[in-house]
Amino acid sequence: MDYSTLSKLLVASLLIVGSALHGAQAQTTVSGSVFCDRCKDGKLSALDYPLAGSNITVTCVGADGQPTLTREGTTNALGNYIMRFDGTPDLSNCSAQLSSNNNQQGARACGLASGPSQKLKLGFRLFNMGLYTVDSLLAQPAQPASACSNSTAPTFGVRTTAPATPRPGIRLPPLPRLPSAPPLPFIEATACPDSYWTNAQYKCYWRAINPDTKVAVAFGPIAAKKYGTNISLWQSLQGRGDTYKTLLREATTAYLNAFNSLQFPYNALSVVQRTNDALVGSPRLALLTALKFKRANSGYGKIPCKFTPCK
């Protein structure tokens, strides 16, 4: 069988499997969260809390700058919102904005004053399913909380002191350009530990998940509460030193393996559910869950990692 024929068979197999997995109805999901910026510093901190009942508007514009699509949603009790769109539309020219909230009364009031709108970011697109994520939207109270320190909380005002030379932020090495397809089809049995997923020569295997996808988006509000809302899946693979960092590293690795191989012992939803169960359970359960993921990621000593260097 020549290479051309083999390639056509592989493509056909992938399409059949994708149709069986996700059904005929294509759907795109937008997910994000809303927080009360108690310090009015324009960023999340330990003092901030999620806002339930906030109304979010997603607006898409065309080439002429005119709105072409508008969709509204409301945050749940954990401050998260999900909007679903039929089909697989391109939402790269869309943004989300806090339009109103029901948290303007009482001791924990948080007004409608908010930060800027946030662009939708493509998390992944696989067959007839897509996910866009949105950086956290912020609402602000009339006055900063008393617990906020004026000396440490940055503000939007102009500083009166002499400007200091800005220190460069810590950046991860730039990721190489991803090719359109990995060297091996995802229907093969393969399991790869975290060291493979962080190796630059295998970056083309991040085909379904964007490395910049936030842990809070992939694993949900329970993980967001534990690990924060800014850590990405790529950063989570660097975790070392304690039980919960190990859990997140192995859970993220299992999550990636689940998207990379249909024969991986856990599917992506199972990885998320087991991780959340471990986070609300005891430290012993967290450690056991991490060890189970680690064994699966190593192929139980029987299934090798079939990554080959990307071209």
As a whole number of angstroms, the distance between CA 103 and CA 54 comes to 8
Domains and CATH numbers, the chain: 26-139 (2.60.40), 194-301 (no CATH)
pLDDT 10s per residue in the chain (311 long)?
A: 444 444 444 444 444 444 444 444 678 888 888 888 888 888 777 778 888 888 999 999 988 888 889 999 998 877 888 888 888 888 989 999 988 766 554 445 686 666 788 999 887 776 677 888 888 888 888 888 887 765 444 443 334 445 555 555 555 556 555 444 444 445 678 899 999 999 999 998 887 788 988 998 889 888 998 999 889 999 999 988 889 999 999 999 999 998 888 888 888 888 999 999 999 999 999 999 999 999 999 998 888 999 999 88
pLDDT at 33: 86
Q: Cβ of 242: how many Cβ atoms within 10 Å?
A: 11
Check if the beta carbon of residue 253 is closer than 8 Å to that of residue 215: no
Q: At what angle do helices 243-260 and 268-280 cross, to 10 degrees?
A: 170
pLDDT at 165: 59
pLDDT at 8: 43
Q: DSSP secondary-structure letter at 135?
A: P
As a whole number of angstroms, the distance between CA 257 and CA 246 comes to 16
pLDDT at 149: 66
Check if the beta carbon of residue 67 is closer than 8 Å to that of residue 112: no
Per-residue model confidence as pLDDT tens digits over 95-107? 999 887 665 544 4
As a whole number of angstroms, the distance between CA 156 and CA 168 comes to 20
Residue at token pair 């009942």: 53
